[in-house]
Amino acid sequence: MRMVEEHIGPIDNILAGYRSAIGTEYQGYRNHVCRMVSFCLALSDLGEDATNKLIIAGCFHDIGIWTGPTFDYLPPSIVAAEQYLKETGFQAWIPEISEMIDQHHKLTAYKNAELVEVFRKGDLVDFSLGSIKSGLSSDFVRDVRKRFPNEGFHWMLAKRAAKWVCRHPLNPLPVLKF
């Protein structure tokens, strides 16, 4: 069984720049990122570049909730990731990381790129609170969830989704893809 990593690359360094925008929901989002990246890393044996792409995409995949601020958060999340990649000299990664963010709520398998599919599955494991495991062991999922507690993240999503649905009944869940 894969060990749960205590510190996952530059997650804390990347998210530090968004701490004030995220506010009181920071720890919940940080832990969500750590959980979903942990699930991604356990789903596939990846090289260093792919691991770093997953970590960066993980940090930015929902950030538009706060920077947008909107529940239609994929476009502003992609913009934030692109800005970071340009500032850090990783412009070549923009298309793949943008696709990872854009497709992470796709309800069916993503068949065009393995890393995008791993990212989608990792987020799905966390979004489903571990009820969908994508082949991961129950023990590993439980250990990751224990190490990085929810801190109200899913409750925050539910409240924001409910507000969005009331205001946009004809576009109830804009982040879902089929």
Distances (CA, A) of 172 to 48, 72, 82: 38, 10, 27
- E strand or H helix that includes residue 172: none
Question: Cβ of 133: how many Cβ atoms within 10 Å?
Answer: 16
pLDDT tops 70 at residue 29: yes
Q: Which fold has domain 11-167?
A: Hypothetical protein af1432 (1.10.3210)
Who's near 89: CB < 8 A, 6+ residues apart? none
Distance CA 102, CA 16 (A): 23
pLDDT-derived band at 169, boundaries 50, 70, 90 = confident
What was the pLDDT predicted at 157? 85
Domain positions in the chain are 11-167
Q: What radius of gyration, in Å, describes the C-alpha atoms of the chain?
A: 15
pLDDT-derived band at 98, boundaries 50, 70, 90 = very high
pLDDT-derived band at 168, boundaries 50, 70, 90 = confident
The mean pLDDT value for 73-77 works out to: 95
